[in-house]
Structure 1
Amino acid sequence: MEAPSELVGGQAVQPSAAETKKAKRRQKMEDTQKQFKKLKADYAKLVKSEASSSEILDRLKNDLEKAREAKRLQEQNVEQQKLMINTLQQLLQLPFEMTDEG
């Protein structure tokens, strides 16, 4: 970016090399500050997103633990039912005996 010329006494006067260098440095600093602000905003969004993702992950872990516990209880119920069925089958296979005590 070239520094603009100034009018002095009706004639265009080019800025000195030092002034041009200062103007370029100032522009570069402004650009860098803009980039920094954008990066800072992007970082804030990422932090917020990460917090939200962590909450979701915690909820999913909790749901998974509840599902595992429910599965364990269902398996326990199935085992109890199998034992009851086996017991009933054994009872039904016993010969029918009548005892007269009277």
Structure 2
Amino acid sequence: MSQKTHRRVPRGSRIFPDRALLSPEEIARREAENEAFAQRCREIFNRVYPELVKEHYNWSIMIEPESGDYFIDPNPEIAFQKAREKYPKARILEKRLNEAGCVGRI
């Protein structure tokens, strides 16, 4: 049986000090990429929402913005599987076909 070692970390210090912090430029670049990705997904969602919400209210929609494809299903896991079958490495955004487009509550 292995022995547990307890290491005290002073308050306000980093838990993993050997990990490099991201530069402000890298943080800004990642935020810009995320915002561009979300904007492309929002455009697709706003385009297809009016026709889908009538028959598929509160279903999950997975959006792949590079191709413009989307996958819907009442079960979010099945919709995600459909998206992964066609685009195994792509970033996918999940939304809900309801008034807010939100997946859950805050």
Could you say which structure has the greater relative contact order, defined with CA pairs below 8 angstroms and 6 or more residues apart? 2
Fold conserved between structures, TM > 0.5:
no
TM-score by length of 1: 0.29
Q: Which has the higher strand share?
A: 2
Q: Which has the larger radius of gyration?
A: 1
TM-score by length of 2: 0.28
Q: Which has the higher helix share?
A: 1
